[in-house]
Amino acid sequence: MIRFDLICENDHEFDSWFANNAAFDHQKQAGLVTCPYCDSEKVEKQLMVPSIPKKANNNHQPQAMLSANNDPAMKDLVENIRKMRQQVAENADDVGKDFAKEAREIHYEEKPARNIYGQATFDEARSLIEEGVEVMPLPSLPEEKN
Ligand SMILES: [Zn+2]
């Protein structure tokens, strides 16, 4: 199951669970995904990280940061994120700011398939997702300050 953060045409935000990405697309096309506030069927996925600015009109907003003050559960979470990022770094190539371009070229088979990671703006990430390119935001660690 995946939880998607969704937003409707009237900017109502809500979330909903789906078996997978395809299930969401399927249910959306069938008009089964509706806004709980206004019943609109015009519902879009938001990116899966709450720190992403809700409005796309400022792509350079600082990301929300977390400070896990001695809470063991939060320490575990941070440790898991750290491990996940380490695995990504070991198993994927850092393409930096070319991420959107590289991801798109791989998606359209202009380049051989490989795992990549890098930076993308909110708009770039949204375009990729709309084109069906499988991307997801990497969680940031509290100590990372750009
Ligand atoms: Zn709504």
**Amino acid, res. 23:** A
* Residue-wise DSSP of 39-87: --S-EEEPPS-TTS-SSTT-TTPPPP-----S-HHHHHHHHHHHHHHHH
Alpha carbon of 7 to ligand 1 centroid (Å): 7
Give pLDDT tens digits for 103-123.
999 999 999 988 888 888 888
Give pLDDT tens digits for 46-90.
755 444 444 545 555 555 566 667 788 888 888 888 888 888 888
> What pTM value is reported for the model?
0.47
Alpha carbon of 94 to ligand 1 centroid (Å): 38
Alpha carbon of 24 to ligand 1 centroid (Å): 17
Q: Are strands 93-96 and 116-118 parallel, antiparallel or unpaired?
A: parallel
